Chain A
Amino acid sequence: MKEVLMLICFNTIFYILFIMFSFLGIPLFFLIGAFQSIFISHRNAMKKFRRAISWYGIVIIKALPYPFVKVIYKDLDKTKTAGPFIFACNHRSASDPFLMACLPYEFVQVVNIWPLKLPVLGFMARWAGYLSVREMPFESFSKKAADFLNDGVSIVAFPEGTRSADGSLGQFHGSIFRVALQTGYPVVPVCITGNEKIPARGTLLLRPGTIKIHKLSPITCDKFKGFTPYKLKNMVRQLIADEIEVMEGKGNA
């Protein structure tokens, strides 16, 4: 009973704050961005706009659900390789795209069709240049992704394509790895655990928990030179799977 009451209380507070913050924060960010774009270059305006989206994500995922949900981000990269990067993450929950705000880089995300159809958020994502991989042929996708990378903007993708129903790691789609092979930019595996029920697939109910995000070392182009896209995607998938096992206490640290 106590747990049910706590859940009702947590979800009510979160969604009220979420709606209020979205209705006030998004137009505010948008107006500030539009005003700044008069005085600065388009490139700088986009950089600030994407940074604003990240701040929005940080508030949604870290501030609003606190103390019921805690987010622990760890950068396990010791190489200090320079970006931009192609981030490949596992996908268990609708909160994953928001969690990407923890990555301290300017990025665009590769998204499915439906997030771009969301009111306000979809418009912002389109304006920020988010790539709808299913709405364009691979050649266009590849060219746009390469343009972003050459411009210093990282790409975040969830190569499973859809949220995992049972928490297991699905098979990977190869589009983003083909871009890596074509452009030579490093691929960075990112692992997320603990958010399977924040919220679970098919529901909006949030449950308390601790979300862990581990950013692994980049796989630079010299390590995947001559690979087929299939081999590269499976190599990254294996690295993510191994790290998830460690994070969930099933593997060796």
Chain B
Amino acid sequence: MTILCAFVSSWQKIYFLQAVIGYKMTEQEIVKLTNQVFEDSFEIEKELLKEEMNIFQDLGLDSLDIVDLVVALQEKFGVKIRNDERIKGIRTLGDIYKFIIALKAEGASTAIYRQT
């Protein structure tokens, strides 16, 4: 297990734990991973990644960057968000956190529903 963990990234560990022992991501983990997407994909400094930051006006993302962001978030969280209508309402980094938290909650409830 230790050897396996050494070769996989932190989010892959989270998926693994999620699948094996039904582990759920905390809100703090979602925030951390979302910020990591911004750092890795856009090289935005950590200090700028605050909840109230407008992703267009403050962080300077454009419509094409949003496509890249959606792909990166899908990969990071293992969710499908491309055709989700709620993306259109996203303005701030906080909106993204809330959106992913809601998605993960929906995913968990769907999984419980399937199990029962």
Contact = CB atoms under 8 A, between A and B. Distances in A.
A175 B64 contact: yes
Interface footprint category on A: 10 to 19
Contacts, number: 36
B62 A171 contact: yes
Nearest to A138: B64
A231 B61 CA distance: 11
Interface in A201-235: 228-231, 233-234
Contact of A171 (B41, B43, B56): B56
A174 interface: yes
B60 A171 contact: yes
B57 A174 contact: no
A210 to B, nearest CB: 31
Interface in B44-93: 44, 56-57, 60-65, 68
B16 interface: no
A228 B62 contact: no
A171 B65 contact: no
Contact of B60 (A172, A178, A228): A172
B23 interface: no
A173 interface: yes
Interface in A158-196: 171-175, 178
Interface string A60-74: 000000000000000
Please provide the 9 A-B residue pairs with the shortest distance between their CB atoms, ordered closest to farther: A171-B60, A230-B42, A173-B62, A174-B62, A231-B43, A174-B64, A230-B65, A174-B65, A138-B64
Interface of A: 138, 171-175, 178, 228-231, 233-234, 237
